[in-house]
Structure 1
């Protein structure tokens, strides 16, 4: 089959593509920023088309048999309207192009209930596809358990960081979680289903276990080998307050936690399992799914993460070139240092920055900046990194986004924290003038209005400590390991 995958830079899309390829399908990826797929291992095996589901899709749909629709505006303003228009545009373009099937992953939801805005929107998108002139397979899942998923990260951090768990009323609602590997199996399987009228419908998909969210946390603790968790019921803790709590305790920001929690207010249990007649196979149980996810996390083998998707409202423009700055205000902090370490060793330190290793200077200052960002609705510092050693363009790195990687030479990061302007951090490695290597570091800030200028004036006195410390400590770290290797 010739498949078009939308959302290929996202959590599920980035995992679906290589599995479609493994089954012999030809894949075209529709992405807004093709450079985000530059470093993925399967990039050379697919066709990549720049585009957006709200724009003209004629070229993207050409000669396509099956469209996998895996995009949604989870936390953008007026997301329901945007998702509806995107689905209608995609369905119309698919019909004009003669596409034979649309495969969509929606959310499991109860019948005849007042749904949360997030779940209602997911349901509406599925209905748009089912009403269209193109046959559609609409899969409906509840909580997806897999390394790197937002739902799993929320569950993991809540359980690991809170020996005494403050539990709102919604944690007693029943949920039918499903392992990410089973979701992907169904998405791949739906691609090659017979094109019969009875497949043009919704299919509930779930694992074999039906649990409350509280049971999921307690069983997670058992699988992870944690001491028994204590439970402190707080019935008055609303979903809105719960999302603030999640924002403080986990890496998942409030903008993403809120719609996830709103969905958990409902009991989400499969009403039928007809999909198993068409796509037979045993689904992974909850405990095994947690065990598999934790193994991936501990082995630093997380294929994709929830943070790989762009953050709505965060700056997305690349670092401007010097001519674009003419007539505007730009603040630059540049520093450098010669080191005795080899360029290769220095690059290892640069590419390994952030996450568990931190930022090589004044950890308290970085932590405070991260906390302040979370308090005003930003992503904060706890997103970490997908891989402890390698970075790819488009990945999240704490409160930065990797904008450019020139292996061995340049790492450019774009800030996604809340700032009155746009900010970048460049880390460069070059050969030293007398052997060794040279480390160069440049912070760039383009202020927006008076608030931007005041912001720079406030943080400037700390740059000598923070950025100066980074330069010294990165060079020292490279030299330390360089000497250790020689000895």
Structure 2
């Protein structure tokens, strides 16, 4: 298979892409969540699609059309493909389990056929750079997904990207967690293999220009940064950028499988994604990017420049008060808490109206305390007080109403939607950043669903252990709290 644009097969349609409505599939993912605003900034109309419509609305403002679809459900695709000329296909199923490759190929075939029926002019697929003889299941799947798309009736521009340097990129976050939370590490010999990391801003430029271009020859384009460096060199150079001494030793006999099992001890990067990506470390990646450079020329950032840009952009990101992976507002004030966080969701359905539940919930903390098992809360507060935290800073500024910025004992009220939602920020000392959210949602047949959501962005090994050790106790505690809130609301 050529790494340059194909000279045979279907001819790309030269009708106007500039000014069209662009569809982004995978818009809540790492690249998609950055691509959507980048397209919008260039004046393009954007339709963002995901299976998680709530996540779409949390990330994007009302300038972006948000729609639900499931790529494995052909009937869900015609509405989202209506009046679309360019489709960005940024979807993968690595986190879905061992059958991710089959799911990806099936989804690609369904999308290709539906796009042809809808009159789509071009599909831009973001795949992964890989050697022709790769043994990595993840990389083979990325290549086969591109082949499945290209067998459809719509011209496909496939970009094969190397490691992308930016906040949220799994390889980047694995390095960041490692350097931030460990003094050093032992690495397998496989980390000597080299790739050409690409800055996120460079990748976004390629993608945006493909949407703006009135003519982009279909085919496969290999992307690459300006330097061919090993993963070990990436770790060392990241540590130099952030000013930390980090010791690395390579050990014969240490396998990538062993690394896979060790990484969850210090990193919150999704384990299933790590498992899929580690296979790519055992091979040198191609870096012949002449075809894309001729089509879309741009200056490429060095590895150090890309790292600095990623860290600066993250600091400037204001975020919002709805949780999604990497949201800076949910990591405020906690140095080095992980980009990827965990979420615990406990819900209870009741026939009571939301107004009654809200009236009880509004009295949380202070003299009311936390409705159930208050001795557990007291133990945690005293432990925090002993180590110099605000754990015994008890009380409410306004005892029966939520006011943004005020305290609920050692928590801080971050956001309130009356009778619908309240978000509390964790202010006690701990190995990470935490928030607690209460939601009240109406049920179709009457009544209310009362939900507690605990979000935790760990800081290294202790943050990981804190979450896993406390998850079961928190589950029990939250269930009892919801029952107690319902009981008190019933007695009003």
Same fold (TM over 0.5): yes
Partner of 1:164: 184
C-alpha distance 462-25 of structure 1, shift in aligned 2 (>3 A) = closer
Give the drift of 1:194: 3.7
1:345 partnered with 2:405: yes
User: What RMSD in Å do the two structures reach over aligned CA positions?
Assistant: 3.8
Question: Runs ≥4 in structure 1, deviation > 6 angstroms?
Answer: 302-305, 314-318
Among residues 46, 49, 54, which one is paired with 2:67 in the alignment?
49
Among residues 231, 235, 240, which one is paired with 1:213 in the alignment?
231
1:279 partnered with 2:339: no
C-alpha distance in structure 2 between counterparts of 1:405 and 1:225, whole Å: 46
Give the drift of 1:85: 0.8
Conserved 8 A contact 1:210-1:269: no
C-alpha distance 96-320 of structure 1, shift in aligned 2 (>3 A) = farther
1:116-195 equivalences under 5 Å are 116-195=136-215
Where structure 1 has 5 or more consecutive residues not aligned to the other structure, the ranges are: 309-313, 325-332, 368-381, 386-396, 418-454, 468-487
Partner of 1:44, secondary structure, is: coil
Partner of 1:426: none
Give the drift of 1:459: 3.6
Partner of 2:334: none
Conserved 8 A contact 1:246-1:253: no
1:15-414 equivalences under 5 Å are 15-40=34-59, 42-55=60-73, 56=75, 57-77=77-97, 78-111=99-132, 113-195=133-215, 199-227=217-245, 229-299=246-316, 319-322=347-350, 336-337=365-366, 339-342=395-398, 343-346=403-406, 349-351=412-414, 359-360=426-427, 363=430, 413-414=452-453
C-alpha distance in structure 1 between counterparts of 2:319 and 2:251, whole Å: 34
Output the TM-score relative to the length of structure 2. Answer: 0.67
C-alpha distance 415-53 of structure 1, shift in aligned 2 (>3 A) = farther
Give the drift of 1:233: 1.5
Where structure 2 has 5 or more consecutive residues not aligned to the other structure, the ranges are: 1-19, 328-341, 353-360, 368-394, 416-423, 442-448, 457-469, 482-492
C-alpha distance 405-121 of structure 1, shift in aligned 2 (>3 A) = farther
C-alpha distance 415-93 of structure 1, shift in aligned 2 (>3 A) = farther
C-alpha distance in structure 1 between counterparts of 2:343 and 2:167, whole Å: 27
C-alpha distance in structure 1 between counterparts of 2:326 and 2:452, whole Å: 15
Partner of 1:67, secondary structure, is: strand
C-alpha distance 414-306 of structure 1, shift in aligned 2 (>3 A) = closer
Partner of 2:58, secondary structure, is: coil
Conserved 8 A contact 2:24-2:88: yes
Output the TM-score relative to the length of structure 1. Answer: 0.68
CA deviation profile, 1:16-57 (whole Å, cap 9, x unmatched): 1111112121111222222222233x4211222211111121
C-alpha distance in structure 2 between counterparts of 1:24 and 1:124, whole Å: 33
C-alpha distance in structure 2 between counterparts of 1:411 and 1:215, whole Å: 49
C-alpha distance in structure 1 between counterparts of 2:450 and 2:293, whole Å: 46
CA deviation profile, 1:219-270 (whole Å, cap 9, x unmatched): 111111112x322211222111111121112221322221121122221132
Conserved 8 A contact 2:178-2:266: yes
C-alpha distance 317-345 of structure 1, shift in aligned 2 (>3 A) = closer
C-alpha distance in structure 2 between counterparts of 1:5 and 1:156, whole Å: 28
C-alpha distance 403-238 of structure 1, shift in aligned 2 (>3 A) = farther
C-alpha distance in structure 2 between counterparts of 1:20 and 1:208, whole Å: 25
CA deviation profile, 1:422-448 (whole Å, cap 9, x unmatched): xxxxxxxxxxxxxxxxxxxxxxxxxxx
Partner of 1:12, secondary structure, is: helix
Conserved 8 A contact 1:5-1:30: yes
Conserved 8 A contact 2:190-2:282: yes
C-alpha distance in structure 1 between counterparts of 2:235 and 2:274, whole Å: 16
Aligned residues: 373
Give the drift of 1:131: 1.9
